[in-house]
Amino acid sequence: MGDVTRREALGSAALGLGGAALAASASGPAAAQDAPRPLAFAGNHTPKPLRFDPAKLTGLSERLITSHWENNYQGSVRGLNTIETRLAAAMADPGFPTVVYAGLKREELHRTGSVVLHELYFDGLGGNGEAAGSVREALAAAYGSFDAWEAEFRRTAMSLAGGSGWCVLTWNPHTRSLHNYWAWDHMHGAVAGVPLIALDMYEHSYHMDYGSAAARYVDAFMVNLDWEVIDARFAAAMD
């Protein structure tokens, strides 16, 4: 994700402490490695392929998309698999330190959020940026006009520029409403919210092409959105 952040440093520390604690255990971890792991700790997540040709996007280079997909997204997939494996081993060890387990659980949430949001991000690209369908009508109703929604989405995204986080259009089934939510990292999101559009505002998602010109990156993201995919997500959320 570019420069190492405090959250990344803490996550790496959790991985390191978890590994050290497991290595110090006697028979528990070894037995856990031999026994089949429960589904919750299977550690067998695999990267989801891109559904579009990264060389054919407008304003987002093949080099940028490929690097983002291979390094940042796949790095989170690998990290999640490692965390789940270590959680399984920790649960097999009655003496595993609670404070270290807490770090592993935090990293599990962080890595899970990163995998899910990145998959939503990439799967939402590959279109012509022309909004259509029931989701467009719903956004116009929620914000007064579609243009008003887009303006607020862009402003939310730019409030994260130069830092880190996600701008997420979300259907909130509890309030029965659409909202653009601000997420400081992979662990922030509306409770029960269903993400429809996920815009990665970490600098790794645009710095290679645009440097600090985050607004130009947001422009490029919007013109590559596949609104058929977004409309299908909205329909599924409404079922």
Checking if the pLDDT of 189 tops 90, the result is no
> Which homologous superfamily does the CATH classification assign to the domain defined by 134-238?
Iron/manganese superoxide dismutase, C-terminal domain (3.55.40.20)
Note whether 174 and 181 are within 8 A (CB).
no
Q: What is the pLDDT of residues 208-235, one digit of tens each?
A: 999 999 999 999 999 999 999 999 999 9
Helix (H, G, I), strand (E, B) or coil at 115: helix
pLDDT band, residue 23 (cuts 50/70/90): very low
Listed by start position, the domains of the chain span: 6-123, 134-238
Length of the chain: 239
The amino acid at residue 152 is: E
Distance CA 171, CA 196 (A): 7
> To which residue do tokens 């497991």 refer?
22
Distance CA 187, CA 171 (A): 17
Q: How confident is the model at residue 120, as a pLDDT?
A: 98
DSSP 30-56: HHHHHSPPPGGG-----PPPPSS-GGG
Distance CA 35, CA 29 (A): 10
Q: What is the pLDDT of residues 155-188, one digit of tens each?
A: 999 999 988 999 999 999 999 999 999 998 898 8
Q: How confident is the model at residue 138, as a pLDDT?
A: 98
Q: What is the token pair recorded at 136?
A: 């467009």
From 232, 213, 53, select the one nearest 125 (Cα to Cα).
Answer: 53
What's the mean pLDDT in 100-119? Answer: 97
From 158, 207, 209, select the one nearest 54 (Cα to Cα).
Answer: 209
What's the mean pLDDT in 125-154? Answer: 98
Q: How confident is the model at residue 71, as a pLDDT?
A: 97
What's the mean pLDDT in 16-21? Answer: 48
Report pTM.
0.85
